[in-house]
Copies of this chain bind each other. A is one copy, B any other.
Amino acid sequence: MITAGIVGISGYSGGKTLELLLRHDQVRVTYVSANNSKGTVADLWPHLRGKTDLVCDTFDADKAAELCDVVFLAVPHTVAMALAPRLLAKSKRVIDLSADYRIDDESLYAKWYGKAHIDEGNLKKAVYGLPELCREKIKDASLIANPGCYPTAALLALAPLVATQTERIQSIIIDAKSGVSGAGKKPSPSVMFTQVNENFMAYKVMTHQHTPEIDQYLTRLAGQKIGVTFVPHLLPVHQGILETIYVSLKPDGNFSTDQINDIYIKFYKKEPFVRVLPPGTQPELKNVRETNYCDIGLVLDQKKNMLVITSAIDNLIKGASGQAVQNMNIMFNFPETKGLIS
């Protein structure tokens, strides 16, 4: 049994992390904080009424460090890098759900997130928390950079191909669609019901801040520079990301659907949370909702040398809180699915 704290429980990823940890029988949540909300958890999250007596506080690093073995940071980008060092300094393990420790190159971080990085020391030590690709390093990490929601779906969809068939890839286009919870809990015109409902649109076309995160890890996997075209869209659903990924392959003529399928099946055969779907089956948001799964579908048009990979995750679970818990399970040597497949 370990103790855990969550900083920023008023947001979706903080609230969902709390919900997951309350179900986890090896974890006791001992500390929760939210800057703008005092009061009980039930005030913030009425669906949790009766499940916990925790009272929410403004952030206090000393208190968090005293009460917790591990602290989840579910605060906005550019805030986390101010809090993490204070917890790490007290030898606490930190899982950061923000983007602050995901981008190796500080100038790239500054460019995409609009602020200079202020914790370069820990940035170097942070481990990217995508278990399917980085499990060994996660085990001993003191600071986890929990992946972005779009990058999680993209990297799991592309990893087997990029890692094993680099030379065959000509270009990658990612057409991504996300539910509204990905935009956070703060009221604004763009996330009102009357704006989103019965609507659909692209946004940040080729300028979304998750693009360099995807590029960086694909490049690492490939051992050579890879850059994607990335266009996100806003879906009128609460939760879920579906990405339709167009991989233009070099016309070498002898690559079959079966071969590609085998590559994926083999790559993920021991993974509890990746489901490579049978040929002819497409991922659907509803099949991954409230789960930590990533479902992957594969269709190859041999004549056009075009491979279409579709991947679906729940942006709040595998794309944020579920993956954070999965990382915690690995860090503390719990069964990896604990609290996630019950």
A interface with B by C-beta (< 8 Å): 12, 23, 46-47, 49-51, 171, 173, 175, 177, 180-181, 185, 187-189, 191-203, 205-206, 227, 229, 231, 233, 235-240, 242, 244, 246, 248, 272, 275, 277, 281-291, 293, 297, 299, 301, 304, 306, 308, 310, 312, 341-342
Which of chain B's residues have a CB closer than 8 A to the CB of A197? 180, 193, 196-197, 236-238
* CB-CB nearest in chain B for A341: B51
Is B200 a contact of A229 with CB atoms below 8 Å?
A: no
Q: Across the two chains, which residue of chain B brings its CB closest to A284?
A: B201
Q: By the criterion CB–CB under 8 Å, are B236 and A193 in contact? A: yes
Chain B residues whose C-beta falls within 8 Å of the C-beta of A246 in the assembled complex = 173, 175, 229, 231, 246
Residues A229 and B193 in contact in the complex (CB < 8 Å), given A199-B285, A202-B310, A236-B237: no
Which B residues are in CB contact (< 8 Å) with A238? 193-194, 197-198
Could you tell me the distance in whole angstroms from the C-beta of A195 to the nearest C-beta in chain B?
7
Residues on the B chain within 8 Å of A291, using CB: 47
The residue that A233 contacts in the complex, of B231, B244, B299, with Cβ under 8 A, is: B244
Inter-subunit contact A229/B199 (CB<8 Å): no
Q: Which of A51, A196, A281, A297 has its CB near the most chain B CB atoms (within 10 A)?
A: A196
A236 touches which of B47, B206, B236, B299 (Cβ 8 Å): B236
7 nearest interchain CB pairs?
Answer: A187-B187, A47-B287, A175-B175, A193-B196, A201-B284, A205-B299, A199-B286
A-B contacts, 12 listed (Cβ < 8 Å): A46-B284, A47-B289, A49-B277, A173-B173, A185-B194, A192-B192, A193-B195, A198-B285, A202-B282, A206-B308, A246-B246, A290-B290
